[in-house]
Every structure is written in C-alpha cells, then in structure tokens.
Amino acid sequence: MLTVMQRLDPKRTTWHITWGTYGSRLHGDARPTVDRTQTLYRRPFVERDERFEQREKNLMTAPAVLLTNEQRLFVEAVMPNICKRGGWNYRICAAGPERDHVHVLSDLDRTVHGKDARRWMKRWLTEALDKRWTRPGSGSWWAEGGSAKVVADEQYLQNVFDYLFKQRAAAQR
C-alpha cells in the first residue's frame, strides 16, 4: 500500500471531487446514478429503467464521450497545473479505466466549496483538451454536475488516495 505524502491540513479542506464525461452514464442504465432531485444524503440510487434511459438519450445533443488512453494520461498530467491555477493543493488525479470519469483529490482554502472548484476544474480542463483535440460531436466533454465529498479523516484520505492511485491511467501502462 502506498501512503499519502501529506496528512490533512487543518487550514484547508480536502475534497474528493469527481465528474463524468458527457452522456456516458445515463439515469436509468444498469449502473448506479443519483438523480438531481435526490438531494438528500443516503437516498437510493436510480434503479434500472430502460424508458428513463431512452428519455435521457433523446435529450443528448452530441455523442457520448469516452476518453482515449492518450486523453486520460493528458488529464492526469495537466491537473496539477489546473490545481495550481486555482490556488489549490493537488494530491492526485485519476482518469479511470472506464474512460468515463475523472477523480481529483485536492486541498482547498476553507472558503472554497468543492462544487465551485469542480466547476473551475472542468472549465480549465476543457480549455486544455480543446487545444489538442476536437470536441466530440461539437458537444461538451463533461456531464453536468458531479460529486464533491469532504475528506474528513485520515483513514478516508488514505483509502481514497489508494483507490485513485490504482485507477490512474498512468498505473495502467
């Protein structure tokens, strides 16, 4: 097991931030999703519903995005500079082997919420990707929203770090 280089910083909040690629995980498909109307903690996931999934497909304005291995490596390589641009302490990034989402573990100033940092990360990562690749179907790289979870204790920090380390595209080579 790899150990986290830094402990939690009492002056900052550590966030586990995740977002998906556009159209790659639709409500109603076989994988668990959280509906925007399900805002309460521990609500059940959206269950398999082919009609719901088809409605979601019909709303799409471009093809679903799955990152190539080259794009996954690129995402992981540019994320430290994106965090630096935001004034955040970068810990680790993983563009997972499913090619449909990105995880970032970062320490933010206590006045910055993880959702706000996620919005900026997605925007700046889009700018970086657009300089190298054409957006698929002239749509968006990313799905709306995502997840931003506070890392409240050292055990969760170690667990999420280990998980992301194994998920990294760089680790898959």
What DSSP designation does 163 have? H
Going from N- to C-terminal start, the domains of the chain cover 12-23+66-132+142-172, 24-59
pLDDT band (50, 70, 90) for residue 40: very low
CATH code given to domain 12-23+66-132+142-172:
3.30.70.1290
Tokens of residue 166, six digits: 């194994």
pLDDT for the residue 39: 47
Q: How far is CA 130 from the centre of its chain?
A: 18
pLDDT band (50, 70, 90) for residue 61: confident
pLDDT band (50, 70, 90) for residue 107: very high
Question: Which of 119, 125, 27, 127 shows the shortest CA–CA distance to 76?
Answer: 125
pLDDT band (50, 70, 90) for residue 121: very high
| Exposure string for 97-130, b = 16+ CB within 10 A, e = fewer | eebbbbbbbbbbeeebebeebbbebbebbeebbe
